[in-house]
Amino acid sequence: MTKAKIRKATVGTWVKVIGFDSNGGETFHLVPEAEARPLENMIAVSSPLGEALMDRQVGDRVPFDAPMGRLTLRILELGTEEETEQPKT
């Protein structure tokens, strides 16, 4: 599967967003709850961030209530594990 065919964030996709403190964006992999490893940016789809990102598209602005306060994230890229390289976080 290529980036062009991915239209929405779903289980198994990675999502690159901006809106946190990092300048270049951050990449999260959306996974089932049993596979979640937040320290490795593998986020459960049932988590608050996972729920906010699910079914979103590139360019979407996503409101998210983070521990530091309300943020608006913007989705830069979507991809899958089958792709050869994920964007750097």
CA-based torsion, 32, 40, 76, 52: positive or negative: positive
Cα separation, 20 vs 25, in Å, equals 7
Could you tell me which residues are beta bridge partners of residue 69?
66
In this prediction the pTM is 0.82
pLDDT digits (tens, 9 = 90+) for 10-51: 999 999 999 987 677 999 999 999 999 999 999 999 999 999
CATH code of the domain occupying 3-77: 3.10.50.30
